[in-house]
Amino acid sequence: MPDTLLKVENLKKTYESSTGIVEAIGDISFAMHQGELVCIVGPSGCGKTTLLKCVAGLLRPTAGVIELDGQPVTDPPENMALVFQEYGRSLYPWLTVRGNVELPLRHKKLSRAERDRLIDDALHAVGLDHAAKSYPWQLSGGMQQRVAIARAVAYQPEVLIMDEPFAAVDAQTRADLEDLVRTLHRERGMSILFVTHDIDESVSLGERVVVLSKSPTWVQEDLHIDLPEDRDQITTRAMPRFTELRTHVYEQIQRAKRGEAVRAQG
Ligand code: ADP
């Protein structure tokens, strides 16, 4: 069994608001191993954003433990990269594509040559070699999201967290970006925690799909996706097993929404 990379144990988060206490996350536990691609799905309002903010060290849990590489997460960890849905807000418009990819590397002690090599390699990996000198606003939404992904690839994080990264792009672009994520994972062994509300996306990308209950959240199911490693939009989605798995996850989410699933004790 590969090493545990990320551990979330008995995570609980309550918010105090003017209208009272909101128990957003009841009790979530799951672990992710080095080199895994794990998708998290759940009904809207189930606490996905809260969970990610805790994992990213941006929000302090009410109770429970989060560990990355055996170290407790109390602040944003250096060995983590994040890609959000709002690519427009995560890129700096006054920097070129190359400048945007380079930015986080400035905090690493690297020679100029090594930095350039990482940037060139990342731009090549996302298919943007030709756009290095462009500015983000000159690019389509899908290409801007590729820049955000290139920035994460160049940074070489231990884990890449993606929060509904393709929710704002058109269907064709989304399909291309999903294939890109699979390729990065397969060819570079990147460990990726991918949050989505799209059931098909979770099944086609993940090696595991963690289904969350409705709030106060717990892990309703941690499902192994036994599809072949080599996946693409057409072949994989045409497989009978894909249909079985997506139907299963869909039913689980319907149960979650209705609050029907009962949590096993112990
Ligand atoms: P998701 O990302 O799955 O839509 P969230 O993590 O945003 O879910 O929210 C989970 C629950 O916590 C919801 O009931 C939401 O209303 C509540 N919540 C989120 N942020 C706050 C906050 N700052 N104050 C009070 N309640 C919040």
What pLDDT does residue 142 have?
A: 94
CA distances (Å), origin 197, targets 10, 45, 123: 23, 10, 28
Say whether pLDDT at 95 is over 90. Answer: yes
Q: Which CATH class is domain 32-59+73-79+158-266?
A: alpha beta
DSSP 8-state symbol, 198: -
- The token pair at 15 is 């918010």
Question: 92 CA to middle of ligand 1, Å?
Answer: 28
Q: How far apart are CA 48 and CA 217, in angstroms?
A: 9
Say whether pLDDT at 17 is over 90. Answer: no
Say whether pLDDT at 158 is over 90. Answer: yes
**Burial environment of residue 120 by CB neighbours within 10 A (0 to 12, 13 to 18, 19 or more):** middle
The neighbouring-strand residues paired with 59 are none
pLDDT in tens, 197-243: 999 999 999 999 999 999 999 999 999 999 999 999 999 999 999 99
Confidence of residue 264 (pLDDT cuts 50, 70, 90): low
Say whether pLDDT at 260 is over 90. Answer: no
Query: Taking each helix axis from N to C terminus, what angle separates 141-155 and 171-188, rounded to the nearest 10 degrees?
Result: 10
Residue spans in the chain of domains classed CATH 3.40.50.300: 32-59+73-79+158-266
Instruction: Please state, rounded to an integer, the average pLDDT across all residues of the chain.
Output: 94
Q: Which residue, judged by its Cα, is nearest atom 13 of ligand 1?
A: 45
What pLDDT does residue 107 have?
A: 86
Ligand 1 mutation pick, 12, 28, 163, 215, max ligand atoms within 8 A of CB: 215
Question: 35 CA to middle of ligand 1, Å?
Answer: 30
Question: 26 CA to middle of ligand 1, Å?
Answer: 12
Among the atoms of ligand 1, which is closest to the Cα of residue 50? 6
Q: Is the pTM of this model over 0.85?
A: yes
Say whether pLDDT at 266 is over 60. Answer: no
% pLDDT > 70, the chain: 98
Lowest mean pLDDT, pick from 1-5, 156-160, 170-174: 1-5
Could you tell me how far CA 25 lies from the centroid of its own chain?
18
Say whether pLDDT at 117 is over 60. Answer: yes
What type of residue is 259?
G
